[in-house]
Structure 1
Amino acid sequence: MLHAGAIVALSDRGLPRAIDTPVVTARVIDAPRPPPPPKAEPVAPVVAPPIVRRTVSRPALPPKPRPPAETRPVPALLALPLRGDGALAYAFVIDGRPGEAALSFHIGNGRYDITLERRAGDRELPVWRSEGRVGPQGLQPERHRVSRQGRERELQIFDRDAARPVLLVGARAFALSAGTQDRLSWWLQLAAMMAAEPAPYVGQRLRVPVAGPAGVNDWDFEVRARDGDRWLLRRDLAQGAGRPALQWSVWLDGRRGFLAVDLRFSLDDDEQWALRLLE
């Protein structure tokens, strides 16, 4: 069978054509198109639920406590501002009335005995007396007496030799902590504690337990200022229900072994009485 190309070539040479062969034109019949898919319904976007952050309420933290006052062993005698026998004279003011005061002392052989007498005009105030031992912790009171016109008005006994040391005030007994002083001996104990400090500084706090008619309380003193060799220590007791604010201000002289040269006691910033050492 000749290819179509050969037949065309012969006819071009003048030869008679054989039977005309019909030319069949092929038609491409489009296949039926599948119907378009139905339009999908719009789907609402999935929205994640909002994140709810629960705030857990926490109780307010209490304010940071102030650093505890420092209590350190006090060398015996070496740190005390007074020794031997003697007396100090003070100018005294009470309720605005001028007067005078004297602090007599005997310190030696491991014992001490100090007495404070005050007078303003014709007004004679109670006499305070403290006696006891001197040891590695400084002064160790054994008795504190308050007398007026020769009659004993108050007596505190420090029983340190008991199995549990106690303070006896009349028929009542209170626990006695180490280093407890009475309302007179704390003057010298505070001086001894400052003298034992290698480098005192403003803001420093010292604690002295002090006995009173109602038991033992911690007296915290803060160093508030310095003027040359003199240091101001202050104790503040905030006002309470039915109780006024109380302040003790004490100037200690570093040149005299931190002896108290100025003491002031106030209620609600109203000075009640003051003592100033006479040079």
Structure 2
Amino acid sequence: MAAFSPQDRIALAAALAGALALHAVAIGALSPRSLPQAIDTPAVSTRLIDAPPSTTPPTTPEPVAPTVAPIAVPPAPFRPSSRPAPAPDTRPVPALLALPLHGEGTLAYAFVIDGQAGEAALGFHIGPDRYDMTLERRAGDRELPVWHSEGRVGPQGLQPERHRVWRQGRERERLIFDRAAARPVLLVGARAFAMSAGTQDRLSWWLQLAAMMAAEPAPHLGLRLRIPVAGPAGVNDWDFEVVARDGERWLLRRDLAQGAGRPSLQWTAWLDGRRGFLPVDLRFSLDDDQQWALRLLE
């Protein structure tokens, strides 16, 4: 091997030193501290959804495209009802009714009770503001209780104030309809029962049912009409269903099963559309043991 001269050794050492210096500079250039800040990944794009948000607001927030989310409609609040819901297609008392009778007069009926023929009469006086009606029935020597109803006439038809029953010349029953109270009540002796709008007694409902049927724009089979009716035990909803039609006459029926050990009850009424749906045939039965019927005499 040839020996290096002193001049060659000095030149080789200088070249080696320069190479080492260039290598050090290259390594320094790849250091993380020397990376440009422009390629830093923004924090908002790398933060997990469940990570707590930063408490320091960005100095220059980048615009974010709005996200359209479906609108959530909150459910309607539940409000319990104090009365059972009406049956499907059951009509309550309308706000405006027209009665089938006006003025003063008497309607004569053929009357049958438990197979015994008799007669009955409905006397009435119906003015623009007040009314009174009295039903008398007789079969042979059998004199039956006399029913009387009186009260006001308003947009919702008849508004009874008193219902009385006489038997053998003595008053046996009295119902008082207190509509002036903050909460209208039915008074039966010392007892009081809540009363809804349109409540009738056991005589006034005849004309009220006719007025409700007349208020129907399109009567049809299956239609149900609901009338609150007062009695000595309180107020109950009576539901009548249209079950048949014969020309302009409509048959409405109310059935009530009283339960085990108690009798079932049924009312049927033929309403004549040519007379404002006035009842022309009324029949009542109580468990097929007690029956009576009224048929309007032409």
**TM-score, reference length from structure 2:** 0.70
Q: 1:104 to 1:74 in 2, by over 3 A?
A: farther
The one-letter amino acid paired with 1:257 is G
**Other structure's SS at 1:191 match:** helix
The structural deviation recorded for 1:176 is: 0.7
Q: Is the 8 A contact 1:74 1:193 kept in 2?
A: no
In structure 1, the residue matched to 2:202 is 183
The one-letter amino acid paired with 2:141 is D
Q: Deviations over 1:162-216 (max 9, x none)?
A: 0111000011000011110000000000000001111100100000000000000
Structure 2 Cα separation of the partners of residues 153 and 141 of structure 1: 18
Return the match for 1:73 from 86, 94, 97.
94
5+ long unaligned stretches in structure 1: 1-63
Structure 2 Cα separation of the partners of residues 95 and 193 of structure 1: 30
Q: Deviations over 1:49-98 (max 9, x none)?
A: xxxxxxxxxxxxxxx9841621142535xx21100000000000001100
Structure with higher helix content: 2
Structure 2 Cα separation of the partners of residues 218 and 68 of structure 1: 15
1:133 and 2:138 correspond: no
Structure 1 Cα separation of the partners of residues 290 and 168 of structure 2: 26
Q: Is the 8 A contact 2:89 2:223 kept in 1?
A: no
Written as runs of structure 1 = structure 2, the 5 A alignment for 1:81-230 is 81-230=100-249
5+ long unaligned stretches in structure 2: 1-84
Aligned residues: 214
**TM-score, reference length from structure 1:** 0.74
Identical aligned residues as a percent: 83
Give the root-mean-square deviation of aligned CA atoms: 1.5
Return the match for 1:250 from 269, 273, 279.
269
Structure 2 Cα separation of the partners of residues 72 and 216 of structure 1: 15
Structure 1 Cα separation of the partners of residues 237 and 186 of structure 2: 14
* Runs of 4 or more consecutive aligned structure 1 residues displaced over 6 Å after TM superposition: none
Q: Is the 8 A contact 2:134 2:149 kept in 1?
A: yes
In structure 2, the residue matched to 1:240 is 259
